[in-house]
């Protein structure tokens, strides 16, 4: 062996020996501190109480897909609308998903509060035996940080996909957007808002329709002389009379004498949902 090789070997052994010594020393100190430190004993039981936080739930992945019947529909596909539709449809399940994630988050916050109060109250309070106090405190602090349960970052990914296959399967088109947790939470709450608004509008409409009674209908016909307010014809001319909302219910019109008029079927159907001029 050359001198260089000998020096190299000695150095390599020395480094290996020193690192073994370091590891051994660390393990020795760690053992002493773990046995004595009140902060670490308490942390161990705290972590046990919150053991469910270390079992990370599986991430949520979901794909919604729709097939459209033409290339034009594929090109103009409205993802925003489609996503809202999916959200409204699966609303109850999605609310549960969000609640679970939020509950997990709250539980972690509770853990952090207790971890921090333990740190402030108990760390550095143990009088060290068989170890210098400053070394004891340093090791204790290191283990205390290391043993903190890490925060779980829930992963959630929603894919909204649209596909189109040309006749005879010649060409296949596919595109998608994806939502993360943030987009999902925003999308869900705006979809719920839309859904609530929709159902309250439907409710208002049904309420107005239900106010149209036989008596009210007769009052309107009587007031208008049993003639169409637009063309003036009466049932003697072989037409059918309708009682019509001047301002339609769908546009907020009320069911009362002031907003009702007599129209023949022809004039009424021609009018549809537009305002009469």
How many other β-carbons are positioned within 10 Å of the β-carbon of residue 141?
A: 16
Under 8 Å between Cβ of 120 and 43: no
Would you count residue 229 as binding Zn ion (CB under 5 A)? no
Would you count residue 66 as binding Zn ion (CB under 5 A)? no
Size of the site for Zn ion (CB under 5 A): 5
Would you count residue 83 as binding Zn ion (CB under 5 A)? no
Q: How far is CA 274 from the centre of its chain?
A: 39
Closer residue to Zn ion, CB minimum distance, 135 or 231? 231
Closer residue to Zn ion, CB minimum distance, 257 or 276? 276
Would you count residue 228 as binding Zn ion (CB under 5 A)? yes
Q: How far is the CB of 263 from Zn ion (least distance, A)?
A: 6
Q: Strands, DSSP E only, in the chain?
A: 60-67, 156-165, 172-179, 241-245, 260-264
How many other β-carbons are positioned within 10 Å of the β-carbon of residue 39?
A: 20
Q: How far is the CB of 243 from Zn ion (least distance, A)?
A: 13
Sole window of 75-83, 106-114, 180-188, 259-267 interacting with Zn ion (rule: CB under 5 A): 259-267
Cα 66 to Cα 93: distance, rounded to the nearest angstrom: 20
Would you count residue 157 as binding Zn ion (CB under 5 A)? no
Under 8 Å between Cβ of 267 and 241: no
Would you count residue 264 as binding Zn ion (CB under 5 A)? yes
Interaction site with Zn ion (CB under 5 A): 228, 230-231, 264, 267
């Amino acid at each position: 062996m050359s001198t260089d090789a000998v020096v190299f070997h000695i150095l390599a052994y020395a480094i290996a020996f020193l690192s073994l010594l370091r590891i051994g020393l660390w393990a020795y100190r760690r053992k002493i501190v773990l046995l004595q430190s009140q902060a670490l004993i308490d942390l161990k039981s705290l972590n046990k109480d919150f053991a469910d936080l270390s079992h990370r739930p599986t991430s949520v992945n979901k794909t919604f897909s729709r097939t459209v019947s033409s290339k034009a529909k594929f090109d103009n596909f409205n993802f925003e609308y489609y996503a809202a539709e999916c959200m409204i449809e699966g609303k109850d399940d999605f609310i549960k998903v969000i609640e679970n994630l939020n509950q997990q988050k709250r539980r972690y916050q509770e853990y952090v509060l207790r971890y921090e109060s333990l740190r402030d109250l108990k760390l550095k309070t143990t009088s060290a035996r068989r170890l210098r106090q400053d070394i004891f405190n340093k090791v204790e602090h290191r283990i205390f940080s290391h043993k903190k349960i890490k925060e779980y970052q829930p992963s959630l990914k929603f894919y909204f996909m649209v596909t189109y296959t040309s006749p005879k399967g010649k060409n296949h088109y596919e595109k998608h957007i994806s939502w993360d947790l943030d987009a999902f939470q925003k999308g869900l709450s705006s979809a719920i808002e839309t859904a609530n608004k929709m159902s309250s509008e439907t409710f208002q409409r049904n309420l107005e329709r239900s106010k149209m009674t036989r008596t009210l209908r007769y009052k309107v016909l009587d007031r208008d002389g049993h003639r169409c307010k637009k063309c003036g014809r009466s049932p003697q001319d072989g037409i059918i009379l309708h009682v019509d909302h001047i301002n339609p219910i769908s546009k907020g019109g009320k069911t009362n004498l002031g907003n009702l008029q007599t129209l023949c079927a022809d004039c009424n159907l021609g009018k549809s949902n537009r305002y009469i001029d």
